[in-house]
């Protein structure tokens, strides 16, 4: 049996006295979307930063294709094929779409950037993902939030990422734009990437997710395959379950 693309075993992370993650275990398969859900402060960003090589875990093991790995820098994580798209996106708003697509890795002819080739390539790669940018000379700042996310996703796919981590890619977007981003998550999955989709919105996670891990105050409430987790149950867990029911009850009684 081939091992999962990525496995995290009993990952804990302390920031001094603050325990951000405790014994978190999960796995990510190629061609699947793993959703990591949790409320504010649950440890989602900490989880990403460990995979992105920003922080090392205090305890626990990370395996890639069955081999233990340690990401001591963002470069190390990237070199291993893990692409992280942060919510605030490392893009330059005044720069064109095609420059943002390559960001320093443009095709060249000799010493010069081959602009014509770069533009055509960016357009072609994005259209393979179903992204239709009319003019790649357009400054990235004039794109909608959903389109900007999609450029970042297409870039990660083109540069050969095996794991794509998306940190709350839909949280600042409206319904329609969120739908656009969800569509590209599916496109990346269909290209064989293992996608990790971080969100606090179960309604965004459920339609695209193959497996779900819910974090609550740094602890995993379990890993679930879609077949064993009805949508209502996911929504209930994310709403704080019993805690919220109790609160609602108290408010109604008051
Ligand atoms: N660099 C840090 N130093 C100390 N404590 C931190 C640090 N980063 C995060 N924490 C704490 O760790 C816990 C988890 O934070 P984290 O940012 O991972 O949560 P999150 O799930 O991403 O939350 P949000 O949805 O608000 O972004 C929180 O209690 C936070 O205050
Ligand atoms: Mg966060």
Determine the average pLDDT of the residues in 98-105.
86
Are the CB atoms for 209 and 37 separated by under 8 Å?
no
Ligand 1 close to Cβ of residue 44 (< 6 A): yes
Higher pLDDT, 180 or 58: 58
Please give the pLDDT value at position 180: 84
Closest C-alpha to 89, from 133, 150, 5? 150
Domain boundaries, the chain: 6-91+162-253
> What does the pLDDT look like over 38-86, one tens digit per residue?
988 899 999 999 999 999 999 999 999 999 999 999 999 999 999 998 8
Ligand 1 mutation pick, 14, 21, 35, 44, max ligand atoms within 8 A of CB = 44
Please give the pLDDT value at position 223: 95
Query: What would the two tokens of residue 118 be?
Result: 């770069």
Alpha-carbon torsion angle 182, 122, 124, 132, nearest 10: 50
pTM over 0.75: yes
Please give the pLDDT value at position 114: 92
| Residues in Cβ contact with 244 at an 8 Å cutoff, skipping those fewer than 6 apart | none
pLDDT surpassing 90 at residue 2: no
Rounded to the nearest whole angstrom, what is the distance from the C-alpha of residue 196 to the centroid of ligand 2?
Answer: 14
Closest C-alpha to 99, from 144, 136, 134? 136
pLDDT surpassing 60 at residue 192: yes
Are the CB atoms for 135 and 142 separated by under 8 Å?
no
CA 77: distance to chain centroid?
14
Q: Domain 6-91+162-253: state its class.
A: alpha beta
E strand or H helix at 28: strand 18-28
> What does the pLDDT look like over 154-176, one tens digit per residue?
888 898 899 999 998 888 788 88
The rounded mean pLDDT for the chain is 89
Ligand 1 close to Cβ of residue 162 (< 6 A): no
pLDDT surpassing 60 at residue 242: no
pLDDT surpassing 90 at residue 133: no
């Amino acid at each position: 049996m081939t091992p999962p693309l990525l496995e995290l075993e009993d990952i804990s992370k302390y920031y001094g006295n603050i325990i951000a993650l405790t014994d978190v275990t999960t796995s990510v398969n190629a061609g699947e979307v793993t959703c990591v859900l949790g409320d504010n402060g649950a440890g989602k960003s900490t989880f990403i930063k460990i995979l992105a090589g920003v922080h090392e875990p205090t305890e626990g093991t990370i395996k890639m294709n069955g081999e233990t790995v340690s990401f001591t820098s963002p470069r190390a994580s990237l070199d291993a094929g893990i692409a992280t798209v942060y919510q605030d996106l490392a893009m330059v708003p005044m720069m064109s779409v095609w420059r943002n697509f390559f960001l320093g890795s443009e095709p060249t002819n000799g010493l010069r950037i081959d602009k014509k080739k770069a533009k055509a390539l960016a357009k072609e790669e994005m259209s393979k993902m179903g992204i239709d940018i009319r003019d790649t000379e357009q400054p990235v700042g004039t794109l909608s939030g959903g389109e900007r996310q999609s450029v970042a996703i297409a870039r990660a796919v083109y540069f050969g990422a095996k794991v794509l981590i998306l940190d709350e890619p839909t949280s600042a977007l409206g319904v329609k734009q969120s739908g656009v981003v969800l569509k590209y998550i599916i496109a990346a999955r269909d290209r064989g990437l293992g996608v990790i989709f971080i969100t606090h919105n179960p309604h965004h996670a459920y339609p695209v997710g193959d497996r779900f891990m819910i974090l609550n105050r740094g602890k995993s409430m379990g890993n679930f395959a879609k077949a064993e987790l009805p949508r209502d149950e996911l929504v209930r867990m994310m709403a704080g379950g019993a805690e919220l029911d109790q609160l609602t009850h108290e408010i109604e009684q008051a």
